[in-house]
Structure 1
Amino acid sequence: MAVEQPPAPAAPTAQPKGGKGKKLLRVAALIVVAIAVKFGISYAFNSPVHAEAGDCVQVTGSDNSPEVDTKDCSDKDANYKVVKVVDDTFDTNSCGTVGEAALAQQWESEKFVLCLNAVK
């Protein structure tokens, strides 16, 4: 008489470590971080300076692409003082006779004109 043996347990299958799913997740995370850095840093560093009257600024760059940074009025790099701010316009004539120069700025839907006097 033959004794029937129970079936042998199936050998466990090895799960791949760091499979395609994890690799895909890492790539997606890197893409999200890259996009956040590009737009977040760009927004933080390229947004126009909405200075207040009495603030001093440094204006550099060309007429078509000016760069504006707020500065302490005692800073040697400050070359203009804001004498008036006109919101919701690009019209540099809105300064009227106030100030020697005018600089129109826009960031997204915000637009304004800085009326400036040279710092002497």
Structure 2
Amino acid sequence: MTTPPPPQDASGAPEQHPAAPAPEAAAKPKSGKGRKFLNVVVLIVVAVVVKLGISYFFNAPVRAEAGDCVKVTGSDNSPEVETKGCEDKDANYKVLKVVENTFDTNACDVGEAALAQQWESEKFVLCLDLVKK
């Protein structure tokens, strides 16, 4: 018994069969510990970004303009300022003027309350007067 010759194409050359695809490298199973560690690191980074972002936006000093009314609470060393409508019952000061590029609270006239503020590289003083109710 003889082996039949390989099939030939129309030109008489042996027919070429496409090579079988090379077996793909076996995928490495991911380590459960490494994946958990990566997840924890990502969660910590997200938590820090959220904390700093919220603090950055919500603790920014009020950028009030002359004529605006504000509510000032907190201590002298750590005042908290929130803009309010002048008709709002919580508004306790009216901004008389804003002095730019200074922390000098003496820039306000005698009898006016002064509140120095800083936001990034900006610094300014709010000159305030009590709201008459």
Normalising by the residue count of structure 2, what TM-score does the alignment of the two structures yield? 0.73
Aligned partner of 2:121 in structure 1 is 109
Matched, 1:40 2:91: no
Q: Please report how far the alpha carbon of residue 37 of structure 1 lies from its aligned counterpart in structure 2 after TM superposition.
A: 1.5
The answer for unaligned runs of 5 or more in structure 1 is: 1-11
Q: Please report how far the alpha carbon of residue 40 of structure 1 lies from its aligned counterpart in structure 2 after TM superposition.
A: 0.5
Rounded Cα–Cα distance in structure 1 between residues aligned with 2:44 and 2:33: 16
What are the Cα deviations for residues 36-65 of structure 1, in whole angstroms up to 9, with x where unaligned? 111111111111101011111000011111
Equivalenced residues, count:
107
1:2-81 equivalence runs, <5 A: 15=29, 19-81=32-94
The answer for unaligned runs of 5 or more in structure 2 is: 1-25
User: 1:71 and 1:13, CA in 2 relative to 1: closer, same or farther beyond 3 A?
Assistant: closer
User: 1:70 and 1:21, CA in 2 relative to 1: closer, same or farther beyond 3 A?
Assistant: same
Q: Which amino acid aligns with 2:80?
A: E
Give me the identity figure in percent.
73
Q: Which amino acid aligns with 1:23?
A: K
Q: Rg bigger for which structure?
A: 2
Q: Which has the higher contact order (CA 8 A, sep 6+)?
A: 1
Q: Which amino acid aligns with 2:108?
A: C
Rounded Cα–Cα distance in structure 2 between residues aligned with 1:72 and 1:53: 13
Rounded Cα–Cα distance in structure 1 between residues aligned with 2:131 and 2:88: 10
Aligned partner of 1:100 in structure 2 is 112
Q: Please report how far the alpha carbon of residue 85 of structure 1 lies from its aligned counterpart in structure 2 after TM superposition.
A: 0.3
Q: Please report how far the alpha carbon of residue 22 of structure 1 lies from its aligned counterpart in structure 2 after TM superposition.
A: 1.7
